[in-house]
Amino acid sequence: MSRVLIVDDEKPYRNYLSEVVALDGHEVKVAATGLEAIEVGTAMVPDVLVADWRLPTGHSGLEVGAALKKVNPQLRVIMITGYSAKDLREAAEIEIAMVLEKPFDLEDVVRAVRNVLA
């Protein structure tokens, strides 16, 4: 069982994502902010981070990924964005395993987690 941390400021969206990933057999924790994600991630040491690139307060999804890669250098990062994946990759200072551009199906997240763990 892999550990997955999901970070999104929209509670219903965060809950849907966590439910479908958990149903696929993963241990899932959630966070609403970048700071909360760093705290939760430091305690749980996730294998996969699924994070919204743009979080409204504090740290971005990229900053969360950078902080958690210090805890687990093998962390696989999946970024969610409503912006261009090209812009995100250019802005990234960390390795991003996959980018999901909104809108996407919940099953796309499950497939993305499976793919980065394969």
pLDDT at site 54: 87
Task: Assess if residue 118 is contained within a domain.
Answer: no
Task: Assess if residue 114 is contained within a domain.
Answer: no
Count how many domains the chain has: 1
CATH value at residue 70: 3.40.50.2300
Q: What is the chain's pLDDT, residue by residue, as a tens digit (118 residues)?
A: 899 999 999 999 899 999 999 999 999 999 999 999 999 999 999 999 999 988 887 889 999 999 999 999 999 999 998 876 666 665 567 788 998 988 899 999 999 999 999 9
Please give the model's pTM, rounded to 2 decimal places.
0.92
105-108 long-range contacts, CB within 8 A, separation 24+: 106/16, 106/17, 106/20, 107/20
Q: Which residue range(s) make up the domain with 65?
A: 3-109
In the block, which residue shows the tokens 């219903």?
A: 12
Task: Assess if residue 115 is contained within a domain.
Answer: no
Task: Assess if residue 116 is contained within a domain.
Answer: no
